[in-house]
């Protein structure tokens, strides 16, 4: 067991390396119906089953046209209509336009679509060469008018509103512009959410091969904790962290297994840990500080845990424990995982500390166990709204709110009462990262934020 506190960078590098090792072997796969694939990790490459779009399609309601013709601002006859769902139509005669709806195939011969809002209706009189035209615009040649004229007897005419002109290709997505048949659209290891599911649906995937989700046991410890449905008596609090971590685990591609609260006794912890070791990953909250009833570390040691680290110079979250146990093969949550290990995090009990340490150090291991391609926490740069003063020595991750309304994201600390302040955490959307050698971040400085 190592008693030395690691720096943030050392611990992060250790976890990243371990995650990369774990990612080399892939989890078992299973097939799920497409709507059930949200939060699941693709175990196959998703490929385009056809060109996307499969035909040149209009992105607007308007008129399919030839850009050079319509840009003369002369009246053009409307010689047909294509609605979304209609087969490709045409050909478009010269000197004419074709009414078209969003999503409909472009008639052969047209090379642009002009938006409905950008034309006015013009009289049916097919113009002679003396017809009004925008100075400098080319004349439509007589053959062109004749061709439209024949097609358009009795049909309305429209004219592009000057001074607008239309470029070739405007408001058309060419066939195959998004993807070519057979193109790899999503690699295996992609976490599926709404966009990925829509894409799979567009390729006709009614089912997807996904990786089996790692089982993540969540064990909150503490004599003061009561289940969330209970009314806490004086001195008690509700177990908020188990529900929070379950949400974080689900979002990261794991299957949460919330265990009953363990008491601050060796006996209760022994029994709970022995059961929980059937999981791929075990998240314990509380009981890892230096207090008299912080019994998690010794209980893990009794079970033969191998400790990777037992503390990091960060705030919040200093007493973080990372260890591994031999996975037990019993219990309803035994799974098909490829590792015989149960990775264990002893997260500090305060919910903000649990959340930050999960995100920084446990989520990368969970992502690797889930077969995801991306493992690390996400950081971004933002402009600091007001001075922040701290003591150097610890890397800090302070709950903050970032606004993305301005040209540069701007971040400010949320007012908080320490790591137990759930209301503050719920007002935050990121954490301000304060480097360990820093005692003062000045307003206006570019700072790093950890995205929540
Ligand atoms: P500990 O790390 O066990 O000393 O806990 C630190 C603080 O976090 C204490 O104030 C606990 O009451 C609180 N705490 C521990 N576990 C939870 C939990 N599951 N939900 C909410 N608060 C907790
Ligand atoms: Mg405790």
Ligand 1 pocket, 319 CB below 6 A? no
Q: Is the pLDDT of residue 423 over 90?
A: yes
Ligand 1 pocket, 419 CB below 6 A? no
Percent of the chain topping pLDDT 90: 84
Q: Is the pLDDT of residue 214 over 90?
A: yes
pTM as predicted: 0.87
Which residues in 422-450 are b (16+ Cβ under 10 Å) and which e? bebbeebbbbbbbebebeebeeeeebbbb
- CB contact at 8 A, 119 and 169: no
Distance 218 CA to ligand 2 centre (A): 15
Q: What is the pLDDT of residues 375-407, one digit of tens each?
A: 889 999 999 999 999 999 999 999 999 998 767
Q: Is the pLDDT of residue 140 over 50?
A: no
pLDDT, averaged across the chain: 91
Q: What is the pLDDT of residues 125-134, one digit of tens each?
A: 544 433 333 4
**DSSP character string of 208-246:** EEEEPPPEEEEEEB-TTEE-TTSPPPTT-EE-HHHHHHH
Comparing CA positions, the residue from 309, 284, 365 lying closest to residue 10 is 309
- H or E stretch at 423: helix 422-427
pLDDT, position 381: 96
With cut-offs at 50, 70 and 90, classify the pLDDT of residue 374: confident
pLDDT, position 336: 47
Ligand 1 pocket, 240 CB below 6 A? yes
Half-sphere exposure of 4 (CA within 13 A, CB side): 5
Distance 318 CA to ligand 1 centre (A): 14
Q: Is the pLDDT of residue 354 over 80?
A: yes
Average the pLDDT over each of 122-136, 358-372, 421-435 and give the range with the smallest value: 122-136
With cut-offs at 50, 70 and 90, classify the pLDDT of residue 242: very high
**DSSP character string of 48-92:** -SS-BSSS-EESSSEEEE-HHHHTTT--EEEEEEE-TTSPP--PP
pLDDT, position 248: 97
- H or E stretch at 256: strand 255-258
Q: Is the pLDDT of residue 151 over 90?
A: no
Ligand 1 pocket, 349 CB below 6 A? yes
Nearest CA to ligand 1 atom 10: 350
Ligand 1 atom closest to residue 353's alpha carbon, by position in its atom list: 8
Distance 430 CA to ligand 1 centre (A): 21
Closest ligand, as measured to the CA of 222: 2
Q: Is the pLDDT of residue 426 over 80?
A: yes
Closest ligand, as measured to the CA of 264: 2
Q: What is the pLDDT of residues 86-114, one digit of tens each?
A: 999 989 999 999 999 999 999 999 999 99
With cut-offs at 50, 70 and 90, classify the pLDDT of residue 339: low
Q: Is the pLDDT of residue 155 over 70?
A: yes
Closest ligand, as measured to the CA of 349: 1
Distance 137 CA to ligand 2 centre (A): 81
Comparing CA positions, the residue from 115, 400, 347, 396 lying closest to residue 241 is 347
Average the pLDDT over each of 236-245, 284-293, 328-337, 405-414 and give the range with the smallest value: 328-337
Distance 298 CA to ligand 2 centre (A): 14
Average the pLDDT over each of 155-159, 223-227, 275-279, 305-309 and give the range with the smallest value: 155-159
Q: Is the pLDDT of residue 152 over 60?
A: no
pLDDT, position 127: 46
Distance 264 CA to ligand 2 centre (A): 7
Ligand 1 pocket, 61 CB below 6 A? no
Ligand 1 pocket, 107 CB below 6 A? no
């Amino acid at each position: 067991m190592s008693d030395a506190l690691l720096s943030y960078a050392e611990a992060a590098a250790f976890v990243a390396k371990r995650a990369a090792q774990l990612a080399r072997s892939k989890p078992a796969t299973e097939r799920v119906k497409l709507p059930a694939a949200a939060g699941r990790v693709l175990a196959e490459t998703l490929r385009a089953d056809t060109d996307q779009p499969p035909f040149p399609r209009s992105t607007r309601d308007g008129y399919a046209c030839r850009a050079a013709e319509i840009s003369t601002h002369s009246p053009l006859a409307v010689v047909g209509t294509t609605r979304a769902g209609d087969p490709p139509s045409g050909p478009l005669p010269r000197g004419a336009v074709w009414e078209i709806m969003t999503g409909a195939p472009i008639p052969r011969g047209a090379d642009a679509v002009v938006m409905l809002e950008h034309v006015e209706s013009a009289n049916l009189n097919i113009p002679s060469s003396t017809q009004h035209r925008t100075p400098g615009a080319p004349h439509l040649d007589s053959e062109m008018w004749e061709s439209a004229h024949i097609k358009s007897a009795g049909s309305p005419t429209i004219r592009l509103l000057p001074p607008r002109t239309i470029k070739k290709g405007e408001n058309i997505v060419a066939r195959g512009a998004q993807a070519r048949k057979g193109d790899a659209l999503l690699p295996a290891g992609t976490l599926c959410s709404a966009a990925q599911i829509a894409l799979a649906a567009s390729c006709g995937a009614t089912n997807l091969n996904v990786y089996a989700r790692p089982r993540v046991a969540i064990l909150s410890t503490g004599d003061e904790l009561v289940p969330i449905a209970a009314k806490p008596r004086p001195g008690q609090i509700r177990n908020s962290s188990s529900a929070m971590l379950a949400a974080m685990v689900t979002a990261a591609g794991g299957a949460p297994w919330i265990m009953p609260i363990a008491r601050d006794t060796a006996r209760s912890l022994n029994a709970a840990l022995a059961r929980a070791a059937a999981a791929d990953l075990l998240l314990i909250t509380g009981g890892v500080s230096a207090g008299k009833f912080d019994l998690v570390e010794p209980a893990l040691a009794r079970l033969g845990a191998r400790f990777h680290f037992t503390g990091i110079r960060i705030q919040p979250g200093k007493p973080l424990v990372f260890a591994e146990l031999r996975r037990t093969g019993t219990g309803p949550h035994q799974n098909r995982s490829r590792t015989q290990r149960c990775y264990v995090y002893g997260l500090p009990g305060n919910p903000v500390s649990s959340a930050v340490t999960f995100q920084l150090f446990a989520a990368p291991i969970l992502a690797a166990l889930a077969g995801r391609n991306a493992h690390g926490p996400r950081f971004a740069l933002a402009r600091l709204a007001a001075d922040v003063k701290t003591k150097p020595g610890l890397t800090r991750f302070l709950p903050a709110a970032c606004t993305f309304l301005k040209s540069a994201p701007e971040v400010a600390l949320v007012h908080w009462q320490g790591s137990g302040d759930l209301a503050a955490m719920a007002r935050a959307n990121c954490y301000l990262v304060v480097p360990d050698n820093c005692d003062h971040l000045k307003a206006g400085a570019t700072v790093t934020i950890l995205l929540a």
